[in-house]
Amino acid sequence: MPREKNPEAASSRKRAPRKAPEAAAAVSPAPTFLDPEQRAALIARGAYFRAQRRSFEPGGELADWLAAEAEVDGELLRGAAESTSG
Domain spans in the chain, listed from the N-terminal domain onward: 33-86
CB-based burial, 42-71: b 16+ in 10 Å, e otherwise: bbeebbeebbeeeeeeeeeeeebbeebbee
What is the number of other CB atoms lying within 10 angstroms of the CB of residue 34?
Answer: 14
- What is the per-residue pLDDT across 43-77, written as a single tens digit (0 to 9) for each? 999 999 999 999 999 999 999 999 999 999 999 88
pTM: 0.57
From CA 4, how far away is CA 1, in angstroms rounded?
Answer: 9
Percent of the chain with pLDDT over 70: 63
The tens digit of pLDDT for each residue in 10-20 reads 555 667 677 66
